[in-house]
Amino acid sequence: MPNSDVTGEAARPDGLGSPRRAALTGLREAMGVPALVLGSSYLGFGALIQGAGLTVWHGLFSTFTGWALPGQIILVELYSLGAGLLVVAAAVAMTNARLLPMTVALMPYLRAPGRPRWHYYLFAHYVAVTGWAAAMRRCPSLPEGQRLPYFAGFAVALWSMCLVTTAVGFFLSDLLPGYVTLGLVFLNPIYFMLVFVADARHRARILALAIGALAGPLLHLVSADWGLLLTGVLAGSLAFFADRLWSRRHV
């Protein structure tokens, strides 16, 4: 049965009608606020690339192969500081490790009988927070054959937009003051926060955000280097177990 918050096309018995319509719907939904926010953030990233003395091709290659803005910013910052290749690779890998549990959580929703396995390996590359949040909200209400097309349309549209805005930001960097560049980059985490807060139906997500907001400043005082990582592990784990306990007591 479709989720109660899904209306319009997704409420139809046949979902979005066909895999092609599902892909087009994903594309259309991506080219709204998600594209505006991510595109603006990647304008800032393109400007950072130029300021670091890298070429536009470095920026495009980074977005093409490692589409995850926090890791890309760390790459540029460490390069600017003259860090070694192994240090840069390790830092980017640790930053992007958050995408692994997101991919593991999403992929079971995207599976459909008879679909070649390489499709999943290909589109796992496009798992990022915005596309993940949209797919986790929409895909459970869709027929199995329409879930991967919806995610593909949504994620590939955003990825393409980010490639374009990376280049545009690079060439417009001289027109963007430094504080504007940083402001554009930080639109991304603010948007993610609003997306999760807006989806208040999920008790575990709200608990994780609340615990993280309370524990984050305290753990930062304990360790400025590890505070953020500890906050994520603590908030996520406590929210998960609290949600499980609540569900068992109210069955």
Report the pLDDT averaged over residues 168-183. 77
Residue bearing the bigger pLDDT, 204 or 20: 20
Report the pLDDT averaged over residues 93-110. 88
| Residue 141 reports pLDDT greater than 80 | yes
- Model confidence band, residue 197 (pLDDT cutoffs 50, 70, 90): low
Q: Which residues contact 13 (CB under 8 A, 6 or more apart)?
A: none
Q: What span, in angstroms and rounded, lies between the C-alpha atoms of 250 and 182?
A: 46
- Model confidence band, residue 231 (pLDDT cutoffs 50, 70, 90): confident
What's the per-residue H, E or C state across 50-117?
Answer: HHCCCCHHHHHHHHHHCCCHHHHHHHHHHHHCCCCHHHHHHHHHHHHCCHHHHHHHHHHHHCCCCCCH
CB-CB neighbours of 186 under 10 Å: 12
| Residue 26 reports pLDDT greater than 80 | yes
| Residue 158 reports pLDDT greater than 90 | yes
Answer for the pair 119, 148: CB distance below 8 angstroms, yes or no: yes
| Residue 142 reports pLDDT greater than 80 | yes
Task: Name the least confident of 49-53, 63-67, 180-184, 237-241.
Answer: 180-184
Answer for the pair 8, 135: CB distance below 8 angstroms, yes or no: no
Q: Is 175 exposed, middle or buried (0-12, 13-18, 19+ CB in 10 A)?
A: exposed
The pLDDT of residue 10 is 44
pTM above 0.85, yes or no: no
Pair of tokens at residue 224: 């400025």
> How high is the mean pLDDT of the chain?
83
Q: What span, in angstroms and rounded, lies between the C-alpha atoms of 248 and 97?
A: 30
Q: What span, in angstroms and rounded, lies between the C-alpha atoms of 61 and 5?
A: 38
Residue 15 per-residue DSSP state: B
The pLDDT of residue 181 is 66
Answer for the pair 79, 48: CB distance below 8 angstroms, yes or no: no
Q: Select the highest-mean-pLDDT range: 111-115, 148-152, 193-197, 243-247.
A: 148-152
The pLDDT of residue 198 is 58
| SS3 (DSSP) at 176 | coil
Q: What is the per-residue pLDDT across 27-80, written as a single tens digit (0 to 9) for each?
A: 999 998 888 888 888 988 898 898 888 999 999 999 999 888 888 988 888 888
